[in-house]
């Protein structure tokens, strides 16, 4: 029974990754498991600056997800992935959390190297996504803040 459930989850996950319509909910049910996903487009202007107690800053965005019900909180799980494209237009989904190497010149000839962390947490009705640079620097120009496509996948076990 457990192997059947794992096989069903793997098959459902592959089916979900092949769907590409943006902004729609998808539902798959079977043998005590419901899986749904929601696609979001986060623009640079959607991010908020969060200031930590030590003065460090990071970016955060709250995604409304009414599909995350009390039953999901009690009997399910939620994952988040980021959609990326290569130079040939191929689509890749990267599960969060993820660490990326970055560089920026900030208008100077010197390249500043750092890493960024993209992670999340969720609760009933909401998913919070955090974008943090290792130097905790947040450029005040929102145009430099990341645009990204995210997919929230919700699993509910019965």
Domain hosting 90: range is 2-157
CA distances from 45 to 48, 59, 131, 148 (A): 8, 11, 14, 11
Altogether, the residues listed in the chain come to a count of 158
Q: Report the number of distinct structural domains present in the chain.
A: 1
pTM: 0.75
**Would you state the pLDDT for residue 154?**
97
What residues have CB less than 8 Å from 118, skipping those under 6 apart? 82, 96, 97, 98, 100, 129, 130, 131, 132
The label of the residue with tokens 């500043």 reads 112
DSSP 22: T
> Residue 149 and residue 11: Cα distance in Å, rounded?
23
Residue 130 pLDDT exceeds 90? yes
**Would you state the pLDDT for residue 112?**
79
């Amino acid at each position: 029974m457990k192997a059947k459930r794992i096989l069903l989850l793997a098959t459902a996950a592959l089916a979900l990754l092949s769907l590409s319509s943006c902004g729609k909910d998808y539902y798959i049910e079977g043998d005590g498991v419901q899986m749904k996903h929601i696609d979001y487009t986060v623009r640079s202007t959607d991010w908020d600056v969060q200031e930590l107690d030590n003065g460090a800053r990071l970016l955060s965005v709250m995604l409304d997800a009414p599909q995350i019900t009390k039953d999901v909180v009690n009997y399910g799980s939620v994952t988040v992935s980021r959609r990326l494209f290569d130079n040939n237009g191929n689509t890749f989904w990267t599960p969060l959390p993820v660490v990326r190497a970055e560089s920026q010149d900030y208008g100077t000839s010197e390249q500043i190297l750092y890493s960024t962390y993209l992670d999340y947490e969720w609760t009933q009705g909401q998913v919070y996504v955090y974008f943090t640079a290792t130097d905790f620097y947040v450029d005040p120009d929102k145009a430099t803040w990341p645009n990204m496509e995210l997919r929230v996948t919700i699993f509910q076990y019965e």
